[in-house]
Amino acid sequence: MQTHRKIFFDLIQNYFTNMLDKHSIPVQGLRHINASHVNFVFECKINHKDIILKANFYGRSMLFAYEKFLDDGALGFSARLREYGEDDDKFEMLLEKQALNLLAENGVRTPPVKGFIYPNILLLEKLYGNTLDKEPLNELLSNRLTSILVLIHSIPPPLGCRKREIEIRDGVIVIKDPNFERILLFDRVAKNVTTAISSYTNRQCFLHGDFKGNNIFFDGEKISILDPKPCVGIPHTDLGKFGTRLILTGRRKDLPTIKHGLELMFRQYSQTFGFDARETEEVSVAMGLMELNHLLEQRARANIDILGHEILELYEIKPLVLYLSELVLRRGEMMTIEKLCSFMER
C-alpha cells in the first residue's frame, strides 16, 4: 500500500518536473507538502525563492486521481498525466489564479501569484506561519477575519462567476454547488428553517467558497487567504462553514474563546450588512451543517486517508453531524453559536 502511494506521488512529482522543464523553469528541492489535502501542493525553490506549486486534475480531489492511478496502473496513469489538458476543460487552477488576483486587487492579502503553467499548475509565493484551523479565535483574529469577510463579500462578482444556486421548495433544499460533483439535497426541512434561509436568497454575494481555518494563514501579524473557490451564493455559506467547523473540530479547551470570537464576528458582520445577528448565526449553523452532512452522508471511500487528517477528523464526528442535522434542519431547533458551543461542552 505505502509503495503504491510512493509511486503515485513520484509520478505527480515527475509531472511537475517535466512541466517546469518544458518551460525552462529551474527548480530545486521539489517535495510534496504534507499539509495539502485535496489538491497536489508541492514546495520548491525557483531562482532561490521559496515557491509553492499547486495542481489539480479533472476538477476533482487527489483521491480521485489516486483511484485512477490504481485502476490504470503506473504506466497508464503517467500517460494520462502527459496528455492531461488536451481534452479536459476543468481548469480549476486557472479559476483559482483569477480569484487570488481578484481578492488581492480588492485589498485581501493572498499569496502572490508567481506564474501559471498551462493547463493546471499554479505557482505561488510561499507564506510563513500557520493555518488557523487549530488556533483559538481571539478578539484580534475575530475582528480581522470579519473585516476580510466583509471585503470579500463586497466584491462585485466578475462576469461569468459560478453560482451556488439554492432552491427551496416544500421542505426541500437543493443546492447546486460548483465545488461538489453531486447536488446537495436536504428533504423534510422544518418550515422555520426554510423560511429563515429563504429570507437571504436575495442577499447573494461573491463568496470565498471554501472559507475555513486551514485556508487561512496567519504569520503572527498578517492574515492571508488561500484556496478560494469563487462563486456567488448566500453569505451564510462562508460564515457557516467557518463557524460550524471551528466549533465541531476545534480544540475543546478553546471552546470558550471560539464562542466569544465567533459571536463577536457574527455581531460585527451582521451590523455591517444590516442583518439580524441571531438569525445570521442560526442560518449559518444550518448551512454549515448542511454542507458537512453532504460531505459525510456517503460511506468513506477506500483510501480516503490520502486526503489528510481533516477529512478523517470529520468522519470521526459523522454521528454527531448527522444528529445535529436532524435536530436543526428537520426538527427546526435552530442553533445559535452559543447553543452549538454549549451542546459541544456537554
Ligand X SMILES: Nc1ncnc2c1ncn2[C@@H]1O[C@H](COP(=O)(O)OP(=O)(O)O)[C@@H](O)[C@H]1O
Closest distance of CB 214 from Mg ion, Å? 6
SS3 readout for 31-98: EECCCCCCCEEEEEEECCEEEEEEECCCCCCHHHHHHHHHHHHHHHHHHHHHHCCCCCCCCHHHHHHH
Burial per residue of 213-250, b for 16 or more beta-carbon CB atoms within 10 angstroms, e otherwise: bbbbbbeeeebbbbbbbbbbbbbbbbbbbbbbbbbbbb
Binding partner of residue 306 among Mg ion, ligand X, none, CB cut-off 5 to 8 Å per kind? none
**Residues 6+ away with beta carbon under 8 Å from 248:** 292, 317, 320, 321, 344
Residue 56 sits in the site that holds Mg ion (CB under 5 A): no
Of 290, 291, 294, 300, the residue nearest 327 (C-alpha): 290
**DSSP 8-state class, residue 163:** B
Q: Whose Cβ is closer to Mg ion: residue 51's or residue 197's?
A: 51
Region binding ligand X by CB under 6 A among candidate stretches 21-29, 120-128, 174-182, 240-248: 120-128
- Helices 277-296 and 191-198, axial angle in degrees (round to 10): 110
Residue 35 sits in the site that holds ligand X (CB under 6 A): yes
Binding partner of residue 120 among ligand X, Mg ion, none, CB cut-off 5 to 8 Å per kind? none
Closest distance of CB 312 from Mg ion, Å? 15
Site map 225..254 versus Mg ion, x via CB under 5 A: --x---------------------------
Residue 291 sits in the site that holds Mg ion (CB under 5 A): no
Binding partner of residue 131 among ligand X, Mg ion, none, CB cut-off 5 to 8 Å per kind? ligand X
Residue 126 sits in the site that holds ligand X (CB under 6 A): yes
Q: Whose Cβ is closer to ligand X: residue 225's or residue 324's?
A: 225
Q: Whose Cβ is closer to ligand X: residue 32's or residue 68's?
A: 32
| Amino acid at the residue 306 | I
Q: In what order do the strands lie in the sheet with 130-131?
A: 130-131, 216-218, 223-225
Residue 111 sits in the site that holds ligand X (CB under 6 A): yes
| Amino acid at the residue 90 | K
CA 177, CA 235: separation in Å to the nearest integer? Answer: 14
Residue 61 sits in the site that holds Mg ion (CB under 5 A): no
Closest distance of CB 136 from Mg ion, Å? 20
Spell out where 163-203 has E strands.
165-169, 172-176, 184-186
Binding partner of residue 35 among Mg ion, ligand X, none, CB cut-off 5 to 8 Å per kind? ligand X
Closest distance of CB 294 from ligand X, Å? 18
What are residue 36's DSSP bridge partners? Answer: none
Of 23, 28, 25, the residue nearest 44 (C-alpha): 28
Considering only 110, 146, 204, 215, the residue that binds Mg ion (CB under 5 A) is 215
Residue 36 sits in the site that holds Mg ion (CB under 5 A): no
Residue 224 sits in the site that holds Mg ion (CB under 5 A): no
What Cα–Cα distance (Å) separates residue 274 from each residue in 44, 200, 246?
46, 12, 25
Binding partner of residue 152 among Mg ion, ligand X, none, CB cut-off 5 to 8 Å per kind? none
Binding partner of residue 111 among ligand X, Mg ion, none, CB cut-off 5 to 8 Å per kind? ligand X
Residue with cell 452559543: 338
Residue 215 sits in the site that holds ligand X (CB under 6 A): yes
Residue 226 sits in the site that holds ligand X (CB under 6 A): yes
Q: Which residues bind Mg ion (CB under 5 A)?
A: 215, 227
Binding site for ligand X (CB under 6 A): 33, 35-39, 41, 52, 54, 111, 124, 126-127, 131, 214-215, 226-227
